[in-house]
Structure 1
Amino acid sequence: MNDLIKISNENELFSKYRNTPIEQLFKYHNFGCTFEKSSKAELLVGMCMDNRNQLRIPNNFAYILRTGGGNLRSIEFKISYAIGIGGVQCIALIGHNHCGMSNLISKKQRFIEGMVKNAGWMEKQAEDHFMRFAPIFEIENEIEFLLCETKRLREKYPKVMIAPLFYKIEDNFLYLLEADRDTA
């Protein structure tokens, strides 16, 4: 986690994110600034569905897509919709530590048992489901996945600013990544 940069004031933001919706996101979430009324979404936030991640932002400020691990591969049409119809020009892709989609194979037995107990599935049905989908949604290392997903989305949407951010569960702050300092 040594490549994370905690943002405690505006001067610590990378210059490429100043005067953008990313700066506003940091002002609202990390700095506790008073919410300004938003009449339309300023950005798209892609983040994990984990209930420990809660952003402090005003209503109407952002479209928010939440998926396991913040993996947006299977919902690209929704991203395109927010850009094409919603007019957003900025995406905050937010990863976090202690993500359940990291090292999924270690959770296989617990997943199967939970589906049998909580969903009423047969063990074989639960195992088949896990084996079919776990490889698609496995993110392995949270930071490496975040950087790869950012690169992929930047190539797909070259006119859209895409900022990889990291949410630390322990302090509920958003961080920048050192690896993103000098990238477009």
Structure 2
Amino acid sequence: MNYADKSELRHNKNELPLEHLIPVTSRDSILEEYRGTPIESLLGYHNLEYSFDKYKHAELLIGMCMDYRKHLNIPDNFAYILRTGGGNLRYSEFKLSYAIAIGGVKAIALIGHDNCGMVNLMSKKEKFVQGLVENAGWDLERAEEHFTHFVPMFEIGNEVDFVISEAKRLRLRYPKILVVPMFYGMADKQLYLLKE
């Protein structure tokens, strides 16, 4: 299934803003400003089956969700990868700064995906709290306080809007770094560029 051709894709009863998705089906579909950069290489390796080059160090950092259902087709040593809930890098900035300052990263790919668990977190409160009580041995009050304290930090709202806003924030923070918002389609396992 290709999301660009499917109008019925839904998440939490709200349609994703499919008008933002740019399918990458050939080199020509990669936006001009990303050609010749690690972003083109990422899209080429994952979507277009480019032959793997050998890398001694990474020039790309990929920020993506910790969701276990996503796997990228990339060569060894190609990228640093930070996986966080919703791909939210707000609380991983020191690691990001380290990869830029010490690791020499020149570009950041922020990859959101559909059906993300960090969307509409309040609807998951009961299951979250009960899971901590049953699976981790927490008492009910401590589990509820934990949930209530952290929800505002980790709720991302709409997946596409969050990735685009996070890219804008990081561009201001790291003005010499290429920061590109992307989307991973869970059904077709393809990467999409996002129109901003």
Does TM, scored on the shorter chain, surpass 0.5?
A: yes
Task: Decide which of 151, 154, 162 is 2:179's aligned counterpart.
Answer: 162
Q: Deviations over 1:21-66 (max 9, x none)?
A: 0000011101122211111102000010000111110110000000
Give the alignment of 1:1-184 within 5 angstroms: 1-179=18-196
The runs of 4+ residues in structure 1 deviating greater than 3 Å are none
CA distance in 2 between partners of 1:33 and 1:20 (Å): 14
Cα shift at 1:6: 1.0
CA distance in 2 between partners of 1:128 and 1:147 (Å): 30
CA distance in 1 between partners of 2:166 and 2:195 (Å): 16
Cα shift at 1:159: 0.3
CA distance in 2 between partners of 1:172 and 1:123 (Å): 38
1:2 maps to amino acid:
E
Q: Deviations over 1:75-94 (max 9, x none)?
A: 10111101000111100011
1:59 maps to amino acid:
D
Could you tell me which runs of 5 or more consecutive residues in structure 1 were left unpaired when the two chains were aligned.
Answer: 180-184
Identity %: 56
Cα shift at 1:2: 2.6
CA distance in 1 between partners of 2:103 and 2:109 (Å): 15
Normalised to the residue count of structure 2, the TM-score between the two structures is 0.90
Q: Which residue number in structure 1 is paired with residue 11 of structure 2?
A: none
Could you tell me which runs of 5 or more consecutive residues in structure 2 were left unpaired when the two chains were aligned.
Answer: 1-17
1:93 maps to amino acid:
L
Q: Which residue number in structure 2 is paired with residue 182 of structure 1?
A: none
The CA RMSD measured in Å over matched residues stands at 0.7
Cα shift at 1:142: 0.5
